[in-house]
Amino acid sequence: MSIEVRFGKSFHPDARQAVRELEAQVGDIEPNALIFFSSPKYDHVALGKAIQSTFTCPTIGCTTAGEILGGEGYIEGSIICAAIISDQLTLKPILIQDLRGFVNEASPKELDGLACLDRRHSFTLLLIDGLSMLEELVVSRINNILKGIPLIGASAADSLNFAHTRVYHNGAFHENGAVLAVVETALPFLPIHIQHFEPTDKRLVITEANVATRTVMEINGMPAAKEYADAVGLTLEKLTPQVFAAHPVMLRIGGEFYVRSIQKVNPDGSLTFFCAIDTGLVFTVAKPSASLIAHLETKLSDIRAIIPHPALIFGSDCILRRLEMQQHGELDKARAVLSRHPFIGFSTYGEQFCGIHVNHTLTALVLGDGA
């Protein structure tokens, strides 16, 4: 065996005690790397210090809108972790503290040296402030420098409070920041993205928008929320997060359709999105191509044709997928599917796949055992 991964979870309400429980589950070993995800209910200052003092290996983590663990399924109010033990893998976390400054800087100093990585044996994991509204710009900037090295990312969340989303680096949590984990390994790996929607013929043209706030005021020349509600066959009063989960929209990029999701209806009848928007963009209303659970089971099972012995699946899964499963009473079915896979992840405010920021998608990095 060339890699071992040990998982941990704790629901203890005290951050320090929760981390002690993770330590006990990981056992008496020194991991090469640690990935953790935390409910926003925890004291982030105490949690950051506890993680740093307990685990001395390179570590990445962030806050969530719910945690996901293979044998547990979709859970909430916990801290979960995956401790990676392998002499064939190194993980280097890079902190980007000022996202606006990063996208405006001519040559970001944080990314010096990334262009020299061996793309056959390297990938990156990105955790980014999910309320920054800068994911597209940051991801595009990083992807241009990586030049083909896979990037899988997730927008940190805060249980649908939309107040504070934080990423962890070196003992502290940060807002308006991101952590890019550069992984170099001789182990097999596979980046994937999973979405179970396809476009319909219902077109929605953005005719007025505020790009900075991701707010759409008009669609097809009409008030945005009313026009969207008409397109999905509902009244304005019926629009809820569950409706947005069931009826996202899609945008065509480079010949392929990607999901774009609505965050909320505003009092003035405008719509705020989880992703960048602009006047003139043409969306199509999406419909499911298969049930979420059936699609998830098929795609995860297909992994083994390429990675016969997956040791870890890091997954960033849109919060709207969780809401969709809740709406259909399918969380137990999801747990049964995930229990067959070494999965760790969380419900996000957005997902990144290579150079694209998406919604209502599961983006994942599969790491295999090379033995």
Whether residues 36 and 86 fall in one domain = yes
Q: At what angle do helices 319-327 and 292-302 cross, to 10 degrees?
A: 130
Separation between Cα atoms, residue 301 and residue 288, nearest integer Å: 20
* pLDDT score, position 306: 95
Final residue belonging to a domain, choices 261, 288, 315: 288
Q: How far, in Å, are 201, 272, 276 from residue 210 at the CA level?
A: 26, 9, 10
* Region 243-252 average pLDDT: 90
Q: List the CATH number of the domain containing 235.
A: 2.40.30
Whether residues 10 and 47 fall in one domain = yes
Task: Say if residue 340's pLDDT is above 70.
Answer: yes
pLDDT tens-digit map of 109-138: 888 878 788 889 999 999 999 999 999 999
Task: Say if residue 177's pLDDT is above 90.
Answer: yes
Whether residues 157 and 305 fall in one domain = yes
Whether residues 319 and 204 fall in one domain = no
Whether residues 23 and 152 fall in one domain = yes
Final residue belonging to a domain, choices 235, 257, 288: 288
Final residue belonging to a domain, choices 288, 322, 342: 288
Q: Choose the weakest-confidence range: 9-23, 40-54, 135-149.
A: 135-149
Whether residues 46 and 122 fall in one domain = yes
Structural domain count of the chain? 2
Separation between Cα atoms, residue 342 and residue 270, nearest integer Å: 41
* pLDDT score, position 355: 87
* pLDDT score, position 28: 87
Whether residues 189 and 201 fall in one domain = no
Whether residues 65 and 133 fall in one domain = yes
Task: Say if residue 371's pLDDT is above 70.
Answer: no
Structure-model confidence comparison of residues 355 and 78, the more confident one? 78
Whether residues 188 and 323 fall in one domain = yes
Q: Which residues contact 265 (CB under 8 A, 6 or more apart)?
A: 225, 236, 239, 271
Q: What is the 3-class SS of the chain, one letter each residue?
A: CCCEEEEEEECCCCHHHHHHHHHHHHCCCCCCEEEEEECCCCCHHHHHHHHHHHCCCCEEEEECCCEEECCCEEECCCEEEEEEECCCEEEEEEEECCHHHHHHCCCCHHHCCHHHCCHHHEEEEEEECCCCCCHHHHHHHHHHHHCCCCEEEEECCCCCCCCCCCEEECCEEECCCEEEEEEEECCCEEEEEECCEEEEEEEEEEEEEECCCCEEEEECCEEHHHHHHHHCCCCHHHCCHHHHHHCCEEEEECCEEEEECEEEECCCCCEEECCCCCCCCEEEEEEECCCHHHHHHHHHHHHHHCCCCEEEEEEEEEHHHHHHHHHCCCHHHHHHHHCCCCEEEEEECCEEECCEEECCCEEEEEEECCC
pLDDT band, very low/low/confident/very high, at 253 (cuts 50, 70, 90): confident
Of all residues in the chain, the percent with pLDDT exceeding 70 is 100
* pLDDT score, position 57: 97
* Region 267-281 average pLDDT: 93
Q: Which residue has the tokens 């392929």?
A: 256
Whether residues 129 and 261 fall in one domain = no
* pLDDT score, position 108: 79
Q: How far, in Å, are 80, 298, 323 from residue 329 at the CA level?
A: 24, 19, 10
pLDDT band, very low/low/confident/very high, at 1 (cuts 50, 70, 90): confident
* Region 309-322 average pLDDT: 95
| Average pLDDT along the chain | 94
pLDDT band, very low/low/confident/very high, at 107 (cuts 50, 70, 90): confident
* pLDDT score, position 273: 93
pLDDT band, very low/low/confident/very high, at 10 (cuts 50, 70, 90): very high
Whether residues 22 and 110 fall in one domain = yes
* Region 14-19 average pLDDT: 98
What is the domain extent for residue 49?
A: 4-193+292-368
Whether residues 45 and 173 fall in one domain = yes
